[in-house]
Amino acid sequence: MSKAEMNDHIDEEKTKSNKKLGSKEEPMETTMLESTLSKIGALLALGFGEAGSEIIAKNMEKGDDVNPMLPGIKQMYIFGFCDIRCFTDATEVLQEGVMLFVNEIGEIVHGTVDRYSGAANKNIGDAFLLVWKILKDDHIYNKAKDEYSVKNCSRVNQLADMAVVSFVLLISGLKKSRKMIKYNTHKGLNERMPGY
């Protein structure tokens, strides 16, 4: 479930819940429980990602006991990594405004990558790890060598192209963004790092 789909699902559940709460009759316990479980599921998907969701689902199928040692599943991805240039200096200059700075960049990064079939996997301060998942049908397993590879097919090539296009659009999006332009003329940033 993508982040956008999960947010849509949460919004839909809130709307349903609010309609029921706004009516004259009290919501049934089962309705509230269903809504709560749906929210917990969405939070688990967000917190653990797609692979974590599959492990949780397998655990729930087996019964009451949770087995965190279930075997994993090999997945193939295209990874992209970007970071904010001169972040330590920017942090020192912007101080409490650095969170807004990172969030404004993150909004552009996440939105662009999501539009091109990728997902933001992690944000660690100044760095973004971005992924494009290769479908299981496009994996090749060589049993003799016990190794995986990726098929040379149009679907994989298109995904790789979308990853590259995402980065080109990220760079141009950051340069054109009205929110980011204010940092181009920020007095403190330009004194510390001319042309930032």
Query: Can you tell me which residue has the tokens 């309609």?
Result: 19
Alpha helices by DSSP H, listed for 68-186, are 87-94, 98-115, 154-176, 178-184
Q: Is the pLDDT of residue 13 over 90?
A: no
171 pLDDT tier (thresholds 50, 70, 90): very high
3-state secondary structure of 191: helix
- pLDDT tens-digit map of 108-159: 999 999 999 999 888 887 899 999 999 988 988 888 888 888 889 999 999 9
Percent of the chain with pLDDT over 70: 77
Percent of the chain with pLDDT over 90: 39
Q: What domains lie within the chain, and their CATH numbers?
A: 3-62 (no CATH), 76-192 (3.30.70.1230)
Q: Is the whole-model pTM more than 0.85?
A: no
Q: Is the pLDDT of residue 20 over 60?
A: no
CB < 8 Å & 24+ apart, contacts of 84-91 = 84/126, 84/127, 85/196, 86/193, 86/196, 87/125, 87/126, 89/189, 89/192, 89/193, 90/189, 90/193, 90/196
Q: Is the pLDDT of residue 61 over 60?
A: yes
Q: What's the whole-number average pLDDT of the chain?
A: 82
Which of 145 and 52 is assigned the larger pLDDT?
145
90 pLDDT tier (thresholds 50, 70, 90): very high
- For residue 58, give every residue at least 6 positions away whose Cβ sits within 8 Å of its Cβ, in sequence order, or none: 70
Report how far residue 18's alpha carbon sits from residue 10's, in angstroms, rounded to the nearest whole number: 12
Which of 121 and 1 is assigned the larger pLDDT?
121
